Structure 1
């Protein structure tokens, strides 16, 4: 991962250079749910996954990992879930569609293609990159993994940051209903 740089300095006339090690076989994937319920604190539920680069190992989340995350969220939140997510191929997998169809507590809405501005979790990733991952050269995959977990844990306990990610999408956490008055 090339470290994102938000600021740097150098002596006048010198070009700043940031040195870091080459590529690693390790890959870190994260799945997250930004949870909103009117009248309650916002929550962030996430699962990091680390791939150490073994030849036959999965490199990212499978639909079963997302299924397990949704089941854990349902148990933690204790109620029905209205899920709004993007068109990632794993979200559209046949096994995932069967899982969704068999759960009455789960309602899913797909975002339009190429609409990251409507996804509150994209705000979480942006915040993580700008605050915790910027201006840092990670020495080992463990260093990166621990920094990501620390950043997500901090966001998790600062609900105003999670609320800000929803506000940035111009979506609302309150359900809108249309009432027809009888005349």
Structure 2
């Protein structure tokens, strides 16, 4: 056994006993009392009997106490096994996750854990289990999230210019058609809901294949929906078709939801019925079109996903009237949750100026 190590001089026995009375960690209190007996002139053997440990463990306590003070006597979390990936491999894994797989090379269109396990073996000859790799990618800050729709032919520069110029466009409307009124920012879109309905993921026992009802009939209706994320307001109509007349009716509905002292800037995509010369636009609404092929700029797209996954999917609609009834019920649920509209619909580029 090595030579005795002296305790640090900035503590004494009375100080350690006082700390032992104050701590809520029983193991730390026992170690503090053992070291306090040494400060009071006791031997290391006395401290070992008091702590019910060996002399070597008392020596370890002394070294931890000298290095870190009383905090060094608390039980720390076990470090666990060393990671099988080094920093270079983690950086390469992060790049692979960011860029996604190349279908003709990797054979898949999205990464699964089993695919990443194979990729690590082919690239670095490192063998890891799916469970270990799951912990690694989660520790790196990655989660499996739902993708936003993105058109393959969109112009990224046009999207950035729209966001950049949006405050100026709103200011121009505020000084023109909306002069003297405050501005409300609204987003509008349509969703088709029909008997050939969606099915979603659901909880089931591992190894089983859960089922959900799925109809093959083709009756459908359209939800014309609009939201004001900043105020948590929403306005919708359920229509049997999607054309200029239906859009005119929806604009009238939105107009009724705009405050009397406000003017709405309604952001829409460039569908034909949104831009038609025959469209009747109320005086308290100005339509502002999005850049072509940029659905991710419209938060109503995310609302449709939420409504389908929670209220409209996994159903068999008996008739057109049944479709309308369920669509109305789903939209009323949304209207009664303004915090949901604010959370899903708010965009920094539209409301952060």
Is the TM value for this pair above 0.5?
yes
Gaps of 5+ in 1: 51-59, 177-183
Matches within 5 A, 1:74-89: 74-77=255-258, 78=260, 79-89=262-272
1:124-159 superposed Cα distances (whole Å, 9 cap, x missing partner):
211111111233333444433322221110111111
Q: Match for residue 46 of structure 1?
A: 236
Gaps of 5+ in 2: 1-195
Q: Match for residue 66 of structure 1?
A: 247
Paired with 2:283 and 2:257, the residues of 1 have a C-alpha distance of 17
Query: Contact 2:220–2:323 (CA<8 Å) still a contact in 1?
Result: no
Query: Contact 1:21–1:139 (CA<8 Å) still a contact in 2?
Result: no
Go from structure 1 to structure 2 and tell me whether the alpha carbon gap of 1:8 and 1:156 turns closer, same or farther (over 3 Å shift): same
Query: Contact 1:6–1:134 (CA<8 Å) still a contact in 2?
Result: no
* Aligned alpha-carbon RMSD (Å): 2.5
Paired with 1:68 and 1:141, the residues of 2 have a C-alpha distance of 20
Is 1:20 aligned with 2:20? no
Paired with 1:44 and 1:93, the residues of 2 have a C-alpha distance of 23
Tell me the secondary structure at the aligned position of residue 108 of structure 1. Answer: strand
| Higher gyration radius (CA) | 2
1:63 Cα deviation from its structure 2 partner? 1.4
1:120 Cα deviation from its structure 2 partner? 1.9
Q: Match for residue 350 of structure 2?
A: 172
1:69 Cα deviation from its structure 2 partner? 1.9
TM-score, scaled relative to structure 2: 0.40
Question: Per chain length, whose mean CA-contact separation is higher, i.e. which structure has more relative contact order (CA < 8 Å, sep 6+)?
Answer: 1
1:32 Cα deviation from its structure 2 partner? 0.9
Question: How many residues matched?
Answer: 156
TM-score, scaled relative to structure 1: 0.71
1:113 Cα deviation from its structure 2 partner? 1.6
Q: Which has the higher helix share?
A: 2
1:9 Cα deviation from its structure 2 partner? 3.6
Query: Contact 1:4–1:133 (CA<8 Å) still a contact in 2?
Result: no
